[in-house]
Amino acid sequence: MNKKDFLIRFFLVLIVFLATQSLSFANSNLKDGIDAYNSKNYKEAYGIFSQLSKQGDSQAQYILGTMYLNGLGVKKDYTKTYNFFEESASQNNSFGEYGLGYLYKHGLGVKKDLLKTLYWWEKSAQLNNKEALYGLGFLYSLGQGVELNYKKSFDYWQKAAYLGSSYAQYRLGLLYYEGDIEKNYINAYTWFDVAKRFSNPNEEIYDLAVHHLNIVKYKLTSNQISQAKELADKLYNQIKNNNQ
């Protein structure tokens, strides 16, 4: 598998319900909707989010957009997805902005337009949305809609990594392993280890991190592995504490 195919294969930024981990439940009805959604009671969730959306709740609008995007409790409808994301983004909701960029990147309900993807993801990234930061890093790593620039990829992925994105953490490990920024196997091991800790065993990113940990360890001495593990411990705790 060549490098480009490898990068494309693992572009797995999911639009499905990314906002739930960053919600503050000032509105108890929103939490009820989240609970119903997570229980796969989509009919109840849809009713709650629809009411909140009419009241101008930008998170509810974003979530309704994801439901129409993925056909959860409703028939897939990219036009409605776009409309809900647009309503959410008009209130400077970073997930609504990210969602619009996602639609333009994949041509879902709109004409594929990487410049518009870049526009919306940059707006979202300014609000520290880790998915948008990760996505921008991905665009620069392949030169999609922009000039290929691994330094910018590194900068975006580093910001996302410190916000807890296991995908960005894994990408940083790859950059160090493959030498796109600098060849540094200790740093590569460190970030693969951190990515493993921030992912779940049932996720593909977890398997990828473990796979590359097993590869890069043969490039290191036992002392270097100990050093990398110590760095990973510090990074993991720092990132975890900063995002609580």
Establish if 127 belongs to a structural domain.
yes
Average pLDDT, the chain: 89
Instruction: Check whether residue 133 and residue 199 sit in a common domain.
Output: no
pLDDT at 54: 94
In the chain, the percentage of residues whose pLDDT exceeds 90 is: 82
Establish if 155 belongs to a structural domain.
no
Range of the structural domain that residue 186 is part of: 166-244
Instruction: Check whether residue 111 and residue 181 sit in a common domain.
Output: no
Q: What is the pLDDT of residues 77-118, one digit of tens each?
A: 999 999 999 999 999 999 999 999 999 999 999 999 999 999
Q: What is the pLDDT of residues 39-75, one digit of tens each?
A: 999 999 999 999 999 999 999 999 999 999 999 999 9
What pTM was computed for the model?
0.88
| Residue 181 host element (H or E) | none
Which string of b and e fits 145-161 if b means at least 16 CB within 10 Å? bbeeebebbbbbbbbbb
Establish if 26 belongs to a structural domain.
yes
Establish if 37 belongs to a structural domain.
yes
pLDDT tier at 26 (50, 70, 90 boundaries)?
A: low
Mean pLDDT of 17-34: 62
pLDDT tier at 222 (50, 70, 90 boundaries)?
A: very high
Of 94, 122, 148, the domain-final residue = 148
Instruction: Check whether residue 105 and residue 174 sit in a common domain.
Output: no
Cβ pair 70, 80 in contact under 8 A: no
pLDDT tier at 38 (50, 70, 90 boundaries)?
A: confident
C-alpha to C-alpha distance for 3 and 6, rounded to whole angstroms: 5
Instruction: Check whether residue 82 and residue 129 sit in a common domain.
Output: yes
In the chain, the percentage of residues whose pLDDT exceeds 70 is: 89
Mean pLDDT of 115-124: 97
Establish if 156 belongs to a structural domain.
no
pLDDT tier at 197 (50, 70, 90 boundaries)?
A: very high
Instruction: Check whether residue 108 and residue 185 sit in a common domain.
Output: no
Biggest CA pair distance of the chain: 60
